Amino acid sequence: MADITESAVRGVLETVIDPATGKNIVALGMVSGIATRGGHVAVTLEVDPARGAALEPLRQACEQAVRALAGVLSATAVMTAERPAAPSPPTRPAPPPRTGHGPAAAARIDVPGVKHIIAVASGKGGVGKSTTAVNLALGLTANGVATGLLDADIYGPSMPRMLAVKEKPESADGKMLKPIERYGLRTMSIGYIVAEDTPMIWRGPMVSSALEQMLRDVQWGDLDVLVVDMPPGTGDAQLTLAQRVALSGAVIVSTPQDIALIDARKGLSMFRKVAVPVLGIVENMSYFLCPKCGERSEIFGHGGAHEEADKLGVPFLGEIPLHLDIRMTSDSGHPIVVSKPDSPHAQVYKNIAGRVWKQLTANQRGPRPAPKIVMR
Ligand code: ADP
């Protein structure tokens, strides 16, 4: 396959017209960056923050135009604007300023009443991301933090199973859905609405609009933290979510064997690309704790995540053993943090939750410099 050149990308972007001026976006100097790698193209648009959400169709038009180029496997366009951080509203502590995205910030999904939205992500499926998300959310609740949990893993929603939810969410006015409360946690999942065995095929834009609805059309109320269980992987859909949702930070779940591979790194670089702070890495299935004799075996060569986190300059949040109790409790709808709250495993999750909360509140002390999107 022929390499996609920057000039070819620039060429198609010349066909994208800004409706406000009637000129093409290249001529207007809006294209501030083009990065291509093996069929994946990323475009940065430098735009006037005042035009805000109005430019979202233009951003989409850029992606469409680039996607039409022969050999393009994926196209992502992000909007950035250089401007000082907006002052925090006086009424509630603001999440770290994310104004580096400029107009995307205006279009970005923020949930009124929710102080922090955090993502739980993984480089690939099956590493225990959902198990970690649910126990982390319950660990936050156990620490006295008002918490919600949004299952955004729309390819394989697990909250109906992990929280034993059979009922459908209610709506008082036919517009807003009431979250389903479990163990003091307000939760929502596409799996509450669609039967678990219904095959769902989602394309990128549908993923973000489904998530957008679950964020906007659910009465989350006042929450300190909303934990979002992301779809596994680091594709376009995940990148869009990371970019569109006003995230205070992300937690990356990995197993020791994936750390050796590069899946977790991919997650890290995805969040860095959209300037979302990575709160840290959790190593799941870190070691095997024999339920009979209590002996600890490090079958996957444990400890890699800690080292890797140090190397990458992100906090290490903790290690969770591979243990039957963790699987049985979460698969039966009674996650370990609530069904065996005094167990050492529950304590591990609560400690991780404590570290996450500490970081979120530490972030509030001083505004971070306005982030700028970096294309890699
Ligand atoms: P993901 O969300 O990454 O696809 P899940 O959280 O659904 O992964 O976990 C996959 C399976 O592994 C589930 O059956 C879950 O109960 C089990 N599991 C996850 N973490 C652990 C653990 N630390 N010990 C034992 N089983 C686990």
Encode pLDDT of 125-168 as tens digits.
888 999 999 999 999 999 999 999 999 887 788 999 999 999 88
Q: Are residues 282 and 138 in the same domain?
A: yes
Least confident of 44-53, 219-228, 331-340: 44-53
* Domain assignment of residue 89, yes or no: no
Q: Are residues 159 and 306 in the same domain?
A: yes
Average of per-residue pLDDT across 247-264: 78
Tell me which of 22, 56, 80 is where a domain ends: 80
Q: Which residue has the tokens 């890495």?
A: 281
What confidence score (pLDDT) does residue 83 get?
Answer: 41
The answer to whether the beta carbons of residues 152 and 211 sit under 8 Å apart is yes
Angular region, 297: left φ>0, alpha ψ -120 to 50, beta rest: beta
C-alpha of residue 124 to centroid of ligand 1, in Å: 12
Q: For the chain, how many residues are written?
A: 376
- In total, how many domains does the chain have? 2
* Domain assignment of residue 21, yes or no: yes
**Ligand 1 atom at minimal distance to the Cα of residue 330:** 16
DSSP secondary structure string for all residues of 18-85: ETTTTEETTTTT-EEEEEEETTEEEEEEE--GGGGGGGHHHHHHHHHHHHTSTT--EEEEEEE---PP
Residue bearing the bigger pLDDT, 236 or 221: 221
Average of per-residue pLDDT across 193-222: 72
Q: Distance between CA atoms of 242 and 226, rounded to whole angstroms?
A: 14
Residue bearing the bigger pLDDT, 150 or 98: 150
Tally the C-alpha atoms within 13 A of residue 257's C-alpha that lie toward its C-beta: 9
Nearest CA to ligand 1 atom 16: 327
Q: What's the pTM value of the predicted model, to 2 decimals? A: 0.70
Q: Are residues 125 and 35 in the same domain?
A: no
* Domain assignment of residue 90, yes or no: no
Q: Are residues 144 and 70 in the same domain?
A: no
Tally the C-alpha atoms within 13 A of residue 219's C-alpha that lie toward its C-beta: 12
- Which of the four pLDDT bands, split at 50, 70 and 90, describes residue 9? very high
Res 224 pLDDT > 90: yes
Q: Give every CB contact of residue 209 below 8 A, 6+ residues apart in sequence.
A: none
* Domain assignment of residue 98, yes or no: no
Res 343 pLDDT > 90: yes
Other CB atoms within 10 Å distance of the CB of residue 110: 14
The answer to whether the beta carbons of residues 136 and 253 sit under 8 Å apart is no
Res 54 pLDDT > 50: yes
Q: Are residues 222 and 355 in the same domain?
A: yes
Q: Distance between CA atoms of 82 and 126, rounded to whole angstroms?
A: 39
Res 375 pLDDT > 80: no
Nearest CA to ligand 1 atom 27: 327
Tally the C-alpha atoms within 13 A of residue 189's C-alpha that lie toward its C-beta: 33
What confidence score (pLDDT) does residue 48 get?
Answer: 77
Nearest CA to ligand 1 atom 5: 128
CA angle 230, 254, 208 (to 5 degrees): 15
Q: What is the CATH number of the domain that holds 198?
A: 3.40.50.300
Res 206 pLDDT > 70: no
The answer to whether the beta carbons of residues 185 and 223 sit under 8 Å apart is no
Q: Give every CB contact of residue 46 below 8 A, 6+ residues apart in sequence.
A: 29, 30, 31, 32, 79, 80, 81, 82
* Domain assignment of residue 302, yes or no: yes
* Domain assignment of residue 375, yes or no: no
The pocket around ligand 1, CB under 6 angstroms, is made up of 122, 125-131, 158, 232, 284-285, 320, 322-323, 326-327, 330-331
Nearest CA to ligand 1 atom 24: 322
- Which residue, among 138, 133, 97, 146, has the nearest Cα to 275 in the 3D structure? 97
Average of per-residue pLDDT across 228-247: 84
What confidence score (pLDDT) does residue 195 get?
Answer: 63
The answer to whether the beta carbons of residues 95 and 246 sit under 8 Å apart is yes
Q: Are residues 76 and 118 in the same domain?
A: no
Q: What is the CATH number of the domain that holds 52?
A: 3.30.300.130
What confidence score (pLDDT) does residue 372 get?
Answer: 44
Q: Which residue range forms the structural domain that includes residue 247?
A: 114-361
What confidence score (pLDDT) does residue 150 get?
Answer: 96
Lookup: tokens for 224: 């300190």
Nearest CA to ligand 1 atom 12: 128
C-alpha of residue 337 to centroid of ligand 1, in Å: 14
What confidence score (pLDDT) does residue 100 get?
Answer: 41
Partners of residue 121 on adjacent β-strands: 252
What confidence score (pLDDT) does residue 196 get?
Answer: 57
C-alpha distances (whole Å) from 173 to each of 150, 193, 215, 216 are 21, 17, 17, 15
Q: Are residues 120 and 76 in the same domain?
A: no
* Domain assignment of residue 106, yes or no: no
* Domain assignment of residue 25, yes or no: yes
The answer to whether the beta carbons of residues 353 and 142 sit under 8 Å apart is yes
Testing ligand 1's pocket by substitution, the residue of 120, 127, 129, 131 carrying the most ligand atoms inside 8 A of its CB is 131
pLDDT in tens, 348-367: 999 999 999 999 998 554 44
Lookup: tokens for 7: 């000039």
